[in-house]
């Protein structure tokens, strides 16, 4: 095992453009990608720019592409057999500088969701909710909105699809047992038909949220059951009988 690991970093500056730079970082047990990036910034190159906060996988700000795959830098170990690790900014995001990036459409999408279908209580005041009724809601509520599912999605923007991160938020509101709004139509409006349920978002979620299974597919099925031609015919025949 080599004493150092090489970090190959895709860098960006508005004036310089894009380039790739390599750094040698000393290994130690438990070394994460974020540890290595901080070492580079503090000891080798203070111009290297990245985004991080909690260092504990809670805030989601240190998301990067590690060897082409979305990952939280603070939770991603550099293992003994890794001689070189490639790090680049998240895909489907706009780069500000080096590894610091953002999604320019994220808050506009969230604003649209909240305006069109805000959380609306069925019953006001104290409401008895049993634990099993919150099971799906809790699975989706652990989302830290790191945007890695957006980076993993091969269908983002197709047919207007705003992406799995927003799909999880819509489905989470829908899953609350005291919510009165059906958001299947909203999910369709934000382009979920562009999702081909390839499970890439689910496989790359650092919090292991069953995004495709528990967020996207149920909302698709609800919309299809209401708008499918055969379903409409069946409902009409049922009413006639």
Position 225 scores a pLDDT of 85
The alpha carbon dihedral of 171, 175, 178, 181 has a sign of positive
DSSP 93: S
Whole-number mean pLDDT of the chain?
92
Whether 4-102 and 106-229 share one fold: the answer is no
Confidence of residue 239 (pLDDT cuts 50, 70, 90): low
CB atoms within 10 A of CB 14: 8
Could you tell me the residue ranges of all domains in the chain? 4-102, 106-229
Locus of tokens 């190959």: 8
Mean pLDDT of 25-50: 97
Q: What is the pLDDT of residues 179-234, one digit of tens each?
A: 999 999 999 999 999 999 999 999 999 999 999 999 999 999 998 888 875 555 55
pLDDT confidence bin for 237, thresholds 50/70/90 = low
Residue 118 has pLDDT above 60, yes or no: yes
What's the whole-model pTM score? 0.89
Looking at the chain, the number of H-run helices and the number of E-run strands are 9, 7
Q: Identify the CATH class of 4-102.
A: alpha beta
At 190-204, the pLDDT tens digits run 999 999 999 999 999
Q: Is the pLDDT of residue 238 over 70?
A: no
- For residue 66, give the DSSP letter: E
Q: Does domain 106-229 have CATH number 1.10.1060.10?
A: yes
Element (H, E) at 166: helix 164-175
Q: What angle do CA 35, 38, 42 make, to 5 degrees?
A: 140
């Amino acid at each position: 095992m080599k004493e150092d690991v090489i970090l190959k970093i895709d860098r960006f500056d508005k004036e310089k453009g894009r380039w790739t730079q390599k750094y040698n970082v000393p290994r130690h047990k438990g070394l994460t990608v974020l540890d290595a990036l901080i070492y580079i910034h503090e000891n080798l190159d203070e111009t290297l720019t990245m985004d991080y906060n909690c260092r504990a996988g809670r805030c989601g700000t240190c998301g990067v592409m590690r060897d082409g795959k979305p990952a939280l830098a603070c939770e991603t170990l550099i293992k003994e057999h890794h001689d070189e690790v490639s790090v680049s900014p998240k895909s489907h995001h706009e780069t500000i500088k080096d590894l610091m990036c953002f999604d320019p459409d994220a808050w506009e999408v969230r604003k649209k969701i909240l305006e069109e279908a805000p959380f609306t209580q069925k019953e006001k005041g104290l409401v008895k909710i049993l634990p099993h009724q919150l099971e799906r809601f809790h699975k989706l509520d652990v989302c830290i909105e790191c945007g890695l599912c957006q980076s993993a999605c091969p269908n983002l923007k197709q047919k207007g699809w705003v992406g799995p991160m927003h799909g999880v938020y819509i489905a989470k509101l829908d899953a609350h047992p005291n919510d009165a709004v059906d958001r299947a139509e909203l999910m369709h409006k934000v382009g979920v038909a562009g999702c081909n349920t390839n499970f890439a978002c689910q496989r790359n979620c650092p919090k292991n949220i069953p995004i495709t299974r528990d967020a996207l597919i149920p909302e698709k099925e609800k919309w299809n059951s209401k708008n499918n031609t055969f379903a409409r015919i069946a409902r009409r025949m049922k009413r006639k009988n």
